[in-house]
Chain A
Amino acid sequence: MSEKTPIDIVRASREDRFLARDIIAGLITDFQELHGDRAQGDDPAIIGGVGLLGEQPVTVIAINRGAEIAEKLQTRNGSPEASGYRKALRLMQQADRFNRPIITFINTPGAFPGKTAEEGGVGQAIAESILQSMSFKVPMIAVIYGEGGSGGALALATSNRVWMFEHAIYAMLSPEGFASILFKDAKRADEAAALLGLTPQELLTAHVVDRVIPEMDNHTAFYEQLRLDLKNEIADLQKLSTTELIAQRQQRFAQFS
């Protein structure tokens, strides 16, 4: 595993080594993208749809940072608007109705801090996603594959299992934001990164995540292994009754108080 310092991992997490569409293509067959929140729009920062994980039908939701500049601008570098979270929630509700496990892939600096997001009620959209996730009757697995930024990441990570890529981070605030608030100096991000406990190994020790996924340069082999791990985990979770599945998900977060 990684010998990197926390700030090295922060930088690596922002490098776009894995793209949302590549992850979906690498893991899911017959993926069909489903668009829109059925209320006001279709946020390209969240890709959602249905497909097969091996033979298992699943709903997939992925935060999308985009591949090149034009798409990065459209997705605000993977910062969803309220509408994006509402699309994700709609697809999770649909998965719940049709008894499909839900896999979310997370990589965001956070929900979009903008006028449109505030007026669209991005806080309310995240709140509703978290609340309803606590009652879904299907297995839910979240995979943080880059940045796991605050509430905007948690909105899709209230799952039975939370996994992280080896060079991903998960924190309540960016190290830059943390440094500017606590030290009044955003340049001390390296110190902040060390204090935040945002690396996969630290989060594993703290039971915030359940598994760290070693990255490989050979993406074909990497996706092969990840597909197998996800299939096995879903099969294990499917052995639980609905009540046990919901209780396990809720209990997962009760350990932090």
Chain B
Amino acid sequence: MTQLFENNPDKFKHTAPADARTRGQKGDWVTCAFCGAQQYKEELGEFLVCGVCGYGFRLGAAQRANMMTDSFTEWHADIEMTTPDFTGYAEKLTRAQAATGLKEAVLTGEAVIEHQRTALAIMDAGFMMGSLGAKTGAKLVALFDDATANDLPVILFSASGGARMQEGIRSLMQLANVSAAIARHREAGLVYIVVLTDPTMGGVTASFAMQGDIILSEPHALVGFAGRRVIEQTIHETLPKDFQRAEHMQASGFIDAIVARPELQHYLGQLLRVHQAPKEDAHV
């Protein structure tokens, strides 16, 4: 295990250029990907939230860990596996690794949130659009199995375009592989909380992002199975702007609560407290 940070004010010591995606220079203009409002970067505040519509700008996994936890220790950083020999894939992976400082599209580990231990997985849309490859799957399986062995809940922040094209059927098999680990975690009576973030699509929606005991979402996150263009071509109509957005999905009954980013850590803390097993001797 690699100690990434522990209860210190500058918590996450992440030197990779990941944060360049949202840090920017003072005075930079940014455009909200949901409502289109333009504002100065510093107006987004420490949580990087649009001042007009509340949309949370996309975060790197390390940045998210820093924002949402009291401390975080990475697990499974060194899981290695062979990657399929697909034209251009190795270069794409190398580029994604350089851009994010991550080895894979998901960061996994153990976190403390409001004094409670939890296993934590954070997907990073900046890493090949958070796509699900064999190694992504292996890291998630290891996280759920270690959480099961250590009696820990799991919190997962989803962010993914779906299966990873370059890995073909092996990528599809990860839907089943990760689900099996979730079934074992569930069998042990442990809680699994999902936070949907922008975007969560395809095979990830059709598996672990929708298997949480509790499913939260950030405001306006894109959440769905099929892509918008495919649907429009199939049914020959133009879809409304809010289609496949968290608010619409909640109205359809698939999201427990939409929680603004500044309130999210406390909200998760409350849920972890509610799910702490009562001590056997509590009534003695």
Residues in A lying within 8 Å of B, measured CB to CB = 111-115, 117-124, 126-128, 130-131, 134-135, 150-151, 154-155, 158, 170-173, 177-178, 181-182, 195-198, 203, 206, 208, 249-250, 253-254, 256-257
Taken together as a complex, chains A and B put the C-alpha atoms of A253 and B169 apart, in Å, by 12
Could you tell me the distance in whole angstroms from the C-beta of A93 to the nearest C-beta in chain B?
Answer: 14
Contact B180 A253 (CB under 8 A): yes
Please name the residue on chain B nearest to A202 by beta carbon. Answer: B169
A257 pairs with B177, CB closer than 8 A:
yes
Contacts of A155 in B (CB 8 A): 206
Apart from A170-B169, A250-B183, 4 more pairs, CB < 8 Å: A113-B231, A115-B231, A123-B224, A154-B176
Cα A203 to Cα B210 with chains together (Å): 28
Q: A127-B207, A172-B172 are in contact. Are A134 and B225 (CB under 8 A)?
A: no
Known A117-B226, A128-B210; contact A134-B231, beta-carbon cutoff 8 A: no
Q: Could you tell me the distance in whole angstroms from the C-beta of A257 to the nearest C-beta in chain B?
A: 4
Contact B206 A123 (CB under 8 A): yes
Interchain CB contact (< 8 A) of A254 among B141, B170, B172, B239: B141
- Measured between beta carbons, the chain A residues less than 8 angstroms from B163 are 150, 172-173
Min Cβ gap A157→B in Å is 8
In the complex where A182-B165, A256-B177 touch, is A118 in contact with B225 (Cβ < 8 A)?
A: yes
Interface residues on B, range: 35 or more
Interchain CA distance A135-B242 in the complex, whole Å: 36
User: What chain B residues lie within 8 Å of A196 (beta carbons)?
Assistant: 168-169
Mask: chain B, 157-173; 1 = CB below 8 Å from A; 0 = not: 00000010100111111
Q: Is the CB of A151 within 8 A of B203?
A: yes
Determine how close the nearest CB of chain A comes to the CB of B278; give it in whole angstroms: 25
Q: B187-204, CB under 8 A of A: which get 1 and which 0?
A: 100000000000000110
- Residues on A with beta carbons closer than 8 Å to the beta carbon of B207: 126-127, 130-131, 151
- Decide: A131 and B211 in contact? CB cutoff 8 A: yes
Question: Cα distance A122–B94 when bound, in Å?
Answer: 34
CA distance A182 to B230 in the complex (A): 16
Which label, helix, strand, loop or mixed, suits the secondary structure of the A interface? helix
Check A118/B224 contact, CB under 8 A, given A127-B207, A206-B169, A254-B180. yes
B174 touches A257 (CB 8 A): yes
Note all chain B residues with C-beta closer than 8 A to A118.
224-226, 231, 243-244
Q: How far is the CA of A206 from the CA of B134 in the complex (A)?
A: 14
In the complex, chain B residues 204-218 whose Cβ is within 8 Å of any chain A Cβ: 205-211
Is B149 an interface residue, CB under 8 A from the partner?
no
Question: In whole angstroms, how far apart are the Cα atoms of A130 and B177 in the complex?
Answer: 10
Question: Cβ of B249: which chain A residues have Cβ within 8 Å of it?
Answer: 121
> Does B175 make an interface contact (CB < 8 A)?
yes
Cα distance A135–B181 when bound, in Å?
A: 11
Q: Which residues of B sit under 8 angstroms from A197, Cβ to Cβ?
A: 168-169
A134 touches B234 (CB 8 A): no
Contact assessment for A158 and B165 in the assembled complex, using a CB-CB cutoff below 8 Å:
no
Is B137 among interface residues, defined by CB-CB distance under 8 A?
yes
Contact pick for B230, options A113, A127, A128, CB 8 Å: A113
Q: Which of A158, A173, A181, A256 gathers the greatest number of chain B CB atoms within 10 Å?
A: A256
- Closest-by-CB residue of B relative to A124 is B210
Q: Distance (Å) between the CB of A247 and the closest chain B CB?
A: 10
- Whole-angstrom distance from the CB of A229 to the nearest CB of chain B? 23
Residue in A117, A151, A198, A206 whose CB lies within 8 Å of B202: A151
Give B66-107 as 1s and 0s: 1 = Cβ < 8 Å from A's Cβ atoms: 000000000000000100001000000000000000000000
Beyond A123-B206, A195-B86, whether A171 also contacts B252 by CB under 8 A is: no
Given contacts A119-B252, A135-B183, A151-B172, contact A127 B209 (CB under 8 A): yes
Q: Give the CA-CA distance A127 to B204 in the complex, in Å.
A: 9
B27 within 8 A of A: no
Roughly how many angstroms separate A256 CA and B137 CA in the complex, as a whole number? 9
